[in-house]
Chains A and B, each alone.
Chain A
Amino acid sequence: KQEVTQIPAALSVPEGENLVLNCSFTDSAIYNLQWFRQDPGKGLTSLLLIQSSQREQTSGRLNASLDKSSGRSTLYIAASQPGDSATYLCAVNTGTASKLTFGTGTRLQVTL
């Protein structure tokens, strides 16, 4: 059974810092891994999708890496801003039919 763990559970950083969020998964036979952002009580916004054959994806100040063999992914956020404050979730797809297995998320707060 696939299990996804995210560390840390919560993180508070001052504005402008670069930061790394971690995601690990137990079954390396994945099709892809997706990072999402969730604001309190809201739905999920997809940030980056990495296919199993890829090593990393970049979008603006965000960079996600994937090491499938070791079961790890990281989300790097450069020059953090207060608007980045949210919960970040990673999810892996280990089969067809878009059945994602999610971690419990990292709650990020960026302070002024």
Chain B
Amino acid sequence: DAGVTQSPTHLIKTRGQQVTLRCSPKSGHDTVSWYQQALGQGPQFIFQYYEEEERQRGNFPDRFSGHQFPNYSSELNVNALLLGDSALYLCASSLGQGNEKLFFGSGTQLSVL
């Protein structure tokens, strides 16, 4: 049973570029959440997708957008990259929108130069 998988594992971009990160949820899960973790900090909630719609959003600008596909996989897009967007991006999956346990992927390390 595959857990949460994310791709790519590492990515290097330059300021102003755009990036797309991908996530496949754990088998049987239908809800995907995205988190940003800066070095030495705890993860910060970006947004959550359920039934192909954004359901909740954290305090992140519109440069951060996402999508969920019919197979429950998800993408995180970041436009006009800033140096401060350098972080570990974590995807988490769960079943439904309740208070179920979250399962996290290994993350995508994004470096913006």
Residues of A within 8 A of B (CB): 4, 31-32, 34, 36, 41-46, 49, 51, 89, 91, 93, 95-105
* Given contacts A44-B90, A91-B42, A105-B42, A99 and B48 within 8 Å (CB-CB): yes
A97 to B94 CA separation, bound complex (whole angstroms)? 10
Residues of B within 8 A of A (CB): 4, 6, 31, 33, 35, 40-45, 48, 50, 55-56, 58, 88, 90, 92, 94, 97-107, 109
The contact of B101 among A34, A42, A95, A97, by CB within 8 Å, is A34
The contact of A99 among B33, B40, B90, B106, by CB within 8 Å, is B33
Closest B residue to A41 by CB, please name it. Answer: B109
The minimal Cβ–Cβ distance linking A37 to chain B, given in whole angstroms, is: 11
The contact of B90 among A32, A43, A96, A98, by CB within 8 Å, is A43
The minimal Cβ–Cβ distance linking B91 to chain A, given in whole angstroms, is: 9
A91 to B101 CA separation, bound complex (whole angstroms)? 11
The minimal Cβ–Cβ distance linking B57 to chain A, given in whole angstroms, is: 9
Q: Is the CB of B99 within 8 A of A98?
A: yes
Closest A residue to B43 by CB, please name it. Answer: A102
Closest A residue to B108 by CB, please name it. Answer: A43
Closest B residue to A107 by CB, please name it. Answer: B40
* Given contacts A98-B100, A98-B102, A104 and B41 within 8 Å (CB-CB): yes
Q: Is the CB of B99 within 8 A of A93?
A: yes
Question: Which residues on B sit within 8 Å (CB–CB) of A32?
Answer: 99
Question: Which residues on B sit within 8 Å (CB–CB) of A100?
Answer: 35, 43, 45, 102
Question: Which residues on A sit within 8 Å (CB–CB) of B55?
Answer: 97
The contact of A46 among B33, B43, B44, B103, by CB within 8 Å, is B103
The contact of B33 among A4, A41, A98, A102, by CB within 8 Å, is A98
